[in-house]
Structure 1
């Protein structure tokens, strides 16, 4: 095959007209309404960002200084960049209600190789998100047990890199496996659990904010930005993890009752709700306790303990575990649906795309769940969070760029939502996301690069040859038969 042929094959685009036909035979059940989708989005956005990362960035770590109360600005910077991407996702979701999310958007607008890289990227990042959230829950679980007089051995509550005598994070592993089991019960069961758990989460955060206001000491706001603006921007790259759950929610588009109508609304609503709660919560956290004394693993538990409310701290620890689990469920769902979509397209073996009687891809659900458990058990939260962020930021760059390309290449394609100020908004998303990527440590870039190289080998060794878009693919007849059947 010539270089020209290879170039043509890797840049082939999935026709948007094929999407609806594939959705009819996906094996996934349509059971999610607008409020369930919004709950999934809020469930994915709000969680470890408030309960763990806000305290971590405010307090600082061995490698980075604490930003203090200016952590509020870190969230606002991350939220502004995320908003541009959210509008881009909303436009695509209204056109292409398909399980692959950013993977599919890149495939349709920019070609197969770009779609592959984003899909491969998201598999790692979503697994890493589940792991980092499990680590955050583990911190609150340990705080809860300590509050009732039970102290777990140090070796089983942290990893060696955290310098606390830890060997493996057993609670984090157990939580990953529990969430995997819940998701394996089917989307309908998951949707109901998510709606109830997100409701509990929002009530908990409103309770924290409402009670915490009475214990704010304004002296804790001075200095407001103790380390300067540079660490605030670097902090935005870390907390970016906390402002993009809507992208994982968009992977459930095929399971929405009316994806074209409801997905754009759910994406925008979930981000607005989350950002309002983030702003209020960070002000309360850094007002209650001096940023230098905040526990980076269980910020609000330590804040309420510091003002003489250990019982409240224990209550927060209990409900934080339940509420943060919704983040894990959302992103584990996202990982399995991207994996399912790539396998259905032939870029990964079709064995992964098999669903059970409940419409659940059990194989990828358990593989992804076990992988996240292993990652949570041996890596510290900062390393996993940064690995997550670089991948999502890369996906945001592609989606924002893709929406510009597709608006001009397919201006007449049906759109239930059109993002405003084209192309300024998505162009800002590209620049902002790229800038935040540059704030991450070189080790994060190295890990990311190694993962992409592995993906490149798999794509050229398997994916390009077996793609349903390849006329010589062993599975090409499968696509032809599907189109014939629908026609």
Structure 2
């Protein structure tokens, strides 16, 4: 009777909301003080083991999924993922970076800079596409690097991914407040609270950014499918604004503004393309949705390559329309499209541009929240952070704990930290992962390290 009762207790599913030591510190070295001291004495051997240890395809795609206890719901197809691509890539960057780089580095040849950066981004897309087809895991680049380059490199990548997730969301939410202020036609920092006793860069408190992060986090936690539908709507509106900007720009075009076409030479074109590469960031979020995709080998390549191809064309057309509306020396570096429309008598268009940028940042937060949570969940599955964050909720089919980690961390930073401080920290973490990915693919292709 006692054994039957014990078996029934073992068969009962665990509660999702639990706080046991095993959920946060499951490793043997944390089970007692003596174990911990012994583990410290073996640091060099453990480090050597981590450097040499590699995962394999089956572990990343099958075994580690069990650590989440519940599976994520397969509810996405290539069409959903295509819109995820638009939502995660097209934010406010295109509305700001285009003017900055045209004025400072490329001139009218800014369109060539977008072509060069688009080709470079597409090469990264091909790397992600090949991996996503063969290793359809929620961990994305983390899982790929763990298989090919080992636990140590994956550990460094995990740190960079965490940094990028938290700081990236905080930066976008701060920018959201700025564009919302512009849409209301109010002074730049009028919706922020000035804290005079804090250091510059951290003294403009932003409760709106915190609110936006919390709302987007709740939406992402509720349902992947509902988030996808909301992303469709927001991305469609953003796309309509972009089409308006392109058509209106060409309607007021003057071909004489394209001369001189290369005022800074080829060097300026490539300097600009290096900066514009970051306008293509975010496509890796598509790869993290592999576990929720109905047919990953077919849907992910279509979504990645299709969305990035169309985004490259859109970026080039927007850059060309701006260059033809205004001479590069007259382009405003802060709000290039808004100022350009004002110069041609379309003062009202600046509100359309601000609304489009606002919608773009909204989709970046939504899709970014989805992808980031899945990164965190998979990192937690490998026990590089507490496995509590790997748990998938049985009803929603989403990693709620991982989403909470990103949302709360980003909100705390966004409340205090200025956009310029955040922007300077994000690029390093992004570059590290993008540099490691082609190296990992070379290792996989040339050395055949797959399983």
TM-score by length of 2: 0.80
For the 8 Å contact 1:154–1:166, the answer to whether it is kept is: no
Aligned to 1:138, which of 177, 181, 192? 177
Which structure has more relative contact order (CA 8 Å, sep 6+)? It is 2
Aligned to 1:42, which of 86, 100, 123? 86
Alignment of 1:468-487 (within 5 A): none
Structure 1 segments unaligned to the other structure (5+ residues):
60-64, 414-487
Relative to 1, partners in 2 of residues 1:77 and 1:253: Cα closer, same or farther, differing over 3 Å?
same
CA distance in 1, matches of 2:108, 2:193: 28
Relative to 1, partners in 2 of residues 1:224 and 1:260: Cα closer, same or farther, differing over 3 Å?
same
Which digits, 9 at most, give the CA deviation of each residue in 1:162-186, with x for residues without a partner? x999834554444333322322222
CA distance in 1, matches of 2:275, 2:194: 20
1:405: how far off?
1.0
CA distance in 2, matches of 1:185, 1:75: 37
Q: Which piece of structure 1 moves more, 44-53 or 270-279?
A: 44-53
For the 8 Å contact 2:182–2:188, the answer to whether it is kept is: no
- Asked if 1:108 is matched to 2:141, the reply is no
Alignment of 1:160-171 (within 5 A): 167-171=204-208
1:104: how far off?
0.3
Aligned to 2:255, which of 214, 218, 242? 218
| 3-state DSSP of counterpart to 2:289 | helix
- Asked if 1:236 is matched to 2:261, the reply is no
Alignment of 1:182-221 (within 5 A): 182-221=219-258
- Asked if 1:313 is matched to 2:350, the reply is yes
CA distance in 1, matches of 2:174, 2:267: 27
CA distance in 2, matches of 1:157, 1:7: 50
For 2:401, the equivalent position in structure 1 comes to 363
1:322: how far off?
1.6
1:276: how far off?
0.5
- Asked if 1:54 is matched to 2:98, the reply is yes
- Asked if 1:125 is matched to 2:161, the reply is no
CA distance in 2, matches of 1:347, 1:57: 39
For the 8 Å contact 2:173–2:210, the answer to whether it is kept is: yes
Relative to 1, partners in 2 of residues 1:181 and 1:310: Cα closer, same or farther, differing over 3 Å?
farther
Q: Which piece of structure 1 moves more, 352-361 or 206-215?
A: 352-361
For 1:11, the equivalent position in structure 2 comes to 52
RMSD: 3.1
CA distance in 1, matches of 2:338, 2:412: 27
| 3-state DSSP of counterpart to 1:277 | helix
- Asked if 1:393 is matched to 2:431, the reply is yes
For 2:443, the equivalent position in structure 1 comes to 405
Relative to 1, partners in 2 of residues 1:107 and 1:371: Cα closer, same or farther, differing over 3 Å?
same
For the 8 Å contact 2:148–2:450, the answer to whether it is kept is: no
- Asked if 1:80 is matched to 2:119, the reply is yes
Relative to 1, partners in 2 of residues 1:353 and 1:387: Cα closer, same or farther, differing over 3 Å?
same
| 3-state DSSP of counterpart to 1:13 | coil
Aligned to 2:379, which of 342, 349, 356? 342
Relative to 1, partners in 2 of residues 1:348 and 1:274: Cα closer, same or farther, differing over 3 Å?
same
Which digits, 9 at most, give the CA deviation of each residue in 1:181-232, with x for residues without a partner? 3222221111111122222222221121112101123344344444455454
For the 8 Å contact 1:238–1:386, the answer to whether it is kept is: no
Aligned to 1:288, which of 310, 325, 328? 325
1:292: how far off?
4.8
Relative to 1, partners in 2 of residues 1:234 and 1:175: Cα closer, same or farther, differing over 3 Å?
farther
For the 8 Å contact 1:58–1:291, the answer to whether it is kept is: yes
For the 8 Å contact 2:176–2:358, the answer to whether it is kept is: yes
CA distance in 1, matches of 2:143, 2:194: 37
Aligned residues: 405
Aligned to 1:156, which of 183, 192, 209? 192
1:38: how far off?
1.1
For the 8 Å contact 2:242–2:356, the answer to whether it is kept is: no
For 2:17, the equivalent position in structure 1 comes to none
1:383: how far off?
4.7
For 1:258, the equivalent position in structure 2 comes to 295
CA distance in 2, matches of 1:13, 1:260: 24
Which digits, 9 at most, give the CA deviation of each residue in 1:466-487, with x for residues without a partner? xxxxxxxxxxxxxxxxxxxxxx
CA distance in 1, matches of 2:418, 2:100: 12
1:245: how far off?
2.0
CA distance in 2, matches of 1:381, 1:320: 16
Aligned to 1:97, which of 111, 132, 136? 136
Relative to 1, partners in 2 of residues 1:392 and 1:165: Cα closer, same or farther, differing over 3 Å?
closer
Q: Which has the larger radius of gyration?
A: 2
Relative to 1, partners in 2 of residues 1:186 and 1:298: Cα closer, same or farther, differing over 3 Å?
farther
Which digits, 9 at most, give the CA deviation of each residue in 1:52-96, with x for residues without a partner? 22233334xxxxx45433333332332222111111110000001
For 1:470, the equivalent position in structure 2 comes to none
1:153: how far off?
5.0
| 3-state DSSP of counterpart to 1:99 | coil
1:271: how far off?
0.9
